[in-house]
Structure 1
Amino acid sequence: MEIVQLWQLFHQPLKQFVINRTGDPIAADDIVQDTFIKIHLNIKNLRDEEKIKPWVYQITRNAIIDYYRRERSFEELPFNLPSTEEEIEISTQLASCIKPMIEQLPLKYREALTITELQGYTQVELSMQLGIFLSGAKSRVQRGRLKLKELLLACCHVNKDLLGHIQDYEIKGPLQTESCTSSCNCNL
């Protein structure tokens, strides 16, 4: 199949597909253009023309993921980043607990937090990777964060200022609670 035929057949459906996932018609034009460049460069590698539609849509999904990765590099930093050396040290110490505590979560929340918080993917990319709706991905991340917070607070008292900066923490008494292992699985 020639690239002109592919353009006529897939241009409009792909553009709508991309708009539905990005909400940005201008970005959709760029993503679709990138998709057709990749199709043109790789069409010779397609062995079964009956599989052209899933092949084209897979290239498009990858182009959407690439778009979000590029966009993420321009995001502004959150307002409440730790600012003093003491705040940075305290945050770093508490951060050593996060990965082991994520490992204690049920699989669907562990998977969502690992992909978004530890691997740095967006919730949109999470939804595409897991094949679920964006609302489901957002829900898993939010519920996972709440469960993670419960685990952390079961092990430690965390004191924050009015802006949400962590001022101090203290490991709770005997570290044997229902939701907390004997060492909280962290390096405090």
Structure 2
Amino acid sequence: METQNIWDNFNEELYFFILKRVKDKDITNDIFQNTFFKIHKNLSSLEKEEKARAWVFQIARNEISNHFNKESVYVDELHSPQESPLEKYEHICCFDQFIDDLPEIYHQVIELIYIKGLKQKEVAEALDISLENVKARVSRAKEILKKKFNECCQYELDEQGRLRGEANCSQCSPNNKLGNESGK
């Protein structure tokens, strides 16, 4: 398959696919151009012509993601006084304790990513482990945390995957902790 064939078959659909997601014609044109540049450059890696559509649209999705990642870095630098990732969870009952109670291999990645704000790739390099291993540890840590929140505080996940529940459950209130610690 040649770049011209891909252009003939997908250019309009691809352009509107990108435009629908970024909602800006100038940015769409840039992403569209980058997408076709990468298509042309990597065309030899397309093994089966029947997979061309999926391959083309995956390249476009990656370019859209790259655009938003670059934009978010710029916006973060623009707004210097940032809220740390941990601050948005401070109101959640037991959050610190649950993080501290994680097994060390999970605690490390959660702390580096969500508390110190490192990217997963940076964590992999810092800990001298694979990126896949970092992702697996993050996933496992999240599962442990979800289970603890659900068991202790009756938190549940909503449709978007966010925690919902009471911020100060009776099991974790300071009075109850004191009572449990003193053997009452």
After superposing on structure 2, the runs of 4+ consecutive aligned residues of structure 1 that deviate more than 6 Å are none
Deviations 1:3-58 (A, max 9, x none): 12222222211110011111122111111111111111111111111111111011
CA RMSD across the alignment: 4.3
1:81 to partner: Cα distance: 4.5
| Partner of residue 168 from structure 2, selected from 137, 153, 162 | 153
Question: What SS does the aligned partner of 1:173 have?
Answer: helix
TM-score by length of 1: 0.50
Question: What SS does the aligned partner of 1:55 have?
Answer: helix
In the aligned structure 1, how far is the partner of 2:97 from the partner of 2:57? Answer: 34
Q: Percent identity?
A: 25
Instruction: Note the residue ranges of structure 1 that are not aligned, 5 or more in a row.
Output: 83-89, 102-113, 122-137, 156-170, 177-181, 184-188
One-letter amino acid matched to 1:154: C
1:173 matches 2:175? yes
Aligned residues: 123
Indicate how the Cα distance of structure 1 residues 120 and 12 shifts in structure 2: closer, same or farther if over 3 A, else same. farther
Which residue in the other structure is 2:43 paired with? 43
Indicate how the Cα distance of structure 1 residues 74 and 93 shifts in structure 2: closer, same or farther if over 3 A, else same. closer
Which residue in the other structure is 2:54 paired with? 54
TM-score by length of 2: 0.51
Which residue in the other structure is 2:98 paired with? 100
The 5 A counterparts of 1:22-41 are: 22-41=22-41
1:153 to partner: Cα distance: 3.1
Say which structure is richer in helix: 2
Deviations 1:114-161 (A, max 9, x none): 9xx94899xxxxxxxxxxxxxxxx9615xx2544xx3x4337xxxxxx
Which residue in the other structure is 1:7 paired with? 7
Indicate how the Cα distance of structure 1 residues 10 and 78 shifts in structure 2: closer, same or farther if over 3 A, else same. same
Instruction: Note the residue ranges of structure 2 that are not aligned, 5 or more in a row.
Output: 100-109, 120-157
1:172 to partner: Cα distance: 2.4
Indicate how the Cα distance of structure 1 residues 92 and 25 shifts in structure 2: closer, same or farther if over 3 A, else same. closer
Instruction: Flag the structure with more relative contact order, 1 or 2, with Cα contacts below 8 A and sequence separation at least 6.
Output: 1
Which residue in the other structure is 2:71 paired with? 71
